[in-house]
Amino acid sequence: MKQQLSNLAAATLALCAAAAVTQAQAQAYPSKPVTIVVPYSAGGPVDNFIRALSQQLSDSWKQPVVVLNKPGANEIIGADQVAKSAPDGYTLFAGTEASLTMSPHLYKKLPYNVEADFVPISQLISLPLMLFTHKNTPANTVPEFVELARKAKAQGKPLSYGSSGAGGIAHLPMVTFEKQEGISMTHVPYRGAANLIPDVIAGQVDAAVLAVSVIEQHVKTGVLKPLAVSSETRSSALPQVPTFKEAGVKDIHAIFSIGLLAPKGTPAAVVEKVAASAKAIIATPDFRQKNIDAFSSVPVASTPVEFKNYLGSNSKLQAERVKASGVALD
């Protein structure tokens, strides 16, 4: 009995000691510069947002927070670097669905495993995508566009939709749209949105889905016709555009998110501290107005558990989309 009590006391002391060490790690963190790897070139939406967040984190932590751009291969290069970094909280990854929930289903082999190599910190913001067409399309609502697509297919001249790349965030939601509405259109992949938008304006391609901030000015000038936004609520930038649900059809879940992750094994207390710091910054009115609302984004600032759950459910959705599309990138 005495031996059992002795063992129990020793175990309790060990747990208390471990908890004390963990708490001390969180309090001391960060004690040196932190690097956030952005898997895109400087100047894009992910880079711009993370740079703004990094500056605020630096001010809060009293330590430099450096953005390191590692573009290429659908975010795979940047993700792989962070996956192989020390799990101490000093190298973080600013990833999107591209590397976290889509690439695992698009590539047979990846140099990293999302569940095995990363710990989610926070889904920071989401950017809803909008379905749009050119101004002369004889359809003003989603149901009218669906009917137009059915008639065009029956006549042997199917409508087309463009995307910023096969298997990407602007492609797979349209696969969902076709499947849900029972229509068939021709997919035209582009290398980025810069070339796609002019072709939709010119009527060379019938439709596409892109971030609200990307097409906002073209909608306001009247050269593009918006049909629906993929979100629970209307966009503050284009409040006249209904959601898919308001338009009378199922949502296509066309959302582009920016989240923070750390290498697997990073102390939980450090992960929680980064998440809490990010949440506090995103809740700041001035930061939100300049870096979220101004780009028609939606603040999320989820907890690590919430972000983990989101990645799990989104991965299942992307798996279904990839299977339906037949796209494989290796």
Cis, bond preceding 30 (omega within 30 deg of 0): yes
* Tokens representing residue 232 in the block: 């629970």
The model's pTM = 0.86
* Beta partners for residue 133, in sequence order: 207, 225
Domain 8-126+257-325: CATH superfamily is: Bordetella uptake gene, domain 1 (3.40.190.150)
Single-letter amino acid, residue 318: Q
User: Percent of the chain beyond pLDDT 70?
Assistant: 92
Residue 17: predicted pLDDT: 47
**Of the candidates 85, 105, 100, the residue with the CA atom closest to the CA atom of residue 46:** 100
Per-residue pLDDT of the chain (330 residues; tens, 9 = 90+): 556 656 665 556 655 444 445 566 678 999 999 999 999 989 888 999 999 999 999 999 999 999 999 998 889 999 999 999 999 999 999 999 999 999 999 999 999 999 999 999 999 999 999 999 999 999 999 999 999 999 999 999 999 999 988 888 899 999 999 999 999 999 999 988 888 999 999 999 999 999 998 899 999 999 999 999 999 899 989 999 999 999 999 999 898 899 999 999 999 999 999 999 999 999 999 999 999 998 889 999 999 999 999 999 999 999 999 998 888 887
Spatial contact of 133 and 225, defined as CB atoms under 8 Å apart: yes
Residue 9: predicted pLDDT: 58
Residue 216: C-alpha distances to residues 65, 159, 211, 221 (Å): 32, 23, 9, 9
Domain ranges of the chain: 8-126+257-325, 128-229
| Candidates 3.90.920.10, 3.30.43.10, 3.40.190.10, 3.40.50.1820; CATH matching 128-229 | 3.40.190.10
**Of the candidates 232, 248, 217, the residue with the CA atom closest to the CA atom of residue 132:** 217
8-126+257-325 and 128-229: identical CATH topology: yes
Q: Hunting for tokens 């298997």 — which residue is that?
A: 167
Residue 44: predicted pLDDT: 84
Q: Hunting for tokens 């970094």 — which residue is that?
A: 85
